[in-house]
Amino acid sequence: MVVDPYYGREDLSNLCARFVSHLFACPKYPPYTASTTTSTPSPSLPHFIAYALYRTQLRPSVAFAALSLLQRLKARFPTTRGSSGYRLFITAYMIASKVICENTYSNRSWCVVAQGMFPLREVNQMERELCMYLDWELTVDLASLAKLDLVVRKEFQDYKGPRDKSEVPHRSRFFFLSFSQSPSLSTAPL
């Protein structure tokens, strides 16, 4: 029996992965770290996101709210790069769910959603840090969410990524494309 590695969420998970990778110049696979809690090879970013979408069963609007938070982070720190799209996405997705949904998951449950890639201590730290970097501005209004949904679907449906760093296209006025390292975030675990 062949298992769908996207759990029926291929389109949305690919959009989210393309957006995060484009915005923060993240690698497709995470770097190996001593904090990785499993010996199983890490999934690609789209497969990781697909599993998170499947496991949580949250509405697609929560994923787009997470992307909005990441866009806000990039706007505040335009020169930052992300070493892990996994950390960025799961943290923003967790925060978006807590802001939008009445009943949400505990941080221990988010460790399961993240496939054991991050221990509870790290999940807690990632959440605190992203909230602080965003100055606790965590809400997303419906009009902005609808606009972001349309733009991301239009701009990233078929986006394959730049062939090299000098070829990063200007996608739209919604995206911030400066990719040099920011000293303020260079040591952050996000």
The upper half-sphere exposure of residue 181, i.e. CA atoms within 13 Å in the direction of its Cβ, equals 5
Closest CA to 137 of 78, 190, 103, 96: 96
125 residue type, one letter: Q
Cα 97 from Cα 108, distance rounded (Å): 14
Residues 6+ apart with CB under 8 A from 39: none
CA–centroid distance for 131 within its chain: 14
Sign of CA dihedral 43, 45, 46, 49: positive
- Cβ–Cβ < 8 Å for 22, 159: yes
The model's pLDDT over 17-63, given as tens digits with 9 standing for 90+, comes to: 999 999 999 877 776 654 455 567 789 999 999 999 999 999 999 99
The model's pLDDT over 59-114, given as tens digits with 9 standing for 90+, comes to: 999 999 999 999 999 999 998 887 899 999 999 999 999 999 999 999 999 999 99
pTM of the complete model beyond 0.85: no
Angstrom distances, CA of residue 57 to CA of 110, 139, 187: 13, 20, 33
Angle among Cα 183, 189, 190 to the nearest 5 degrees reads: 90
Rg (CA), the chain: 15
Cα 158 from Cα 91, distance rounded (Å): 25
The CATH architecture to which 10-30+43-157 belongs is: Orthogonal Bundle (1.10)
Give the CA dihedral 46, 50, 51, 55, nearest 10 degrees: 160
Residue 166 pLDDT greater than 70, yes or no: no
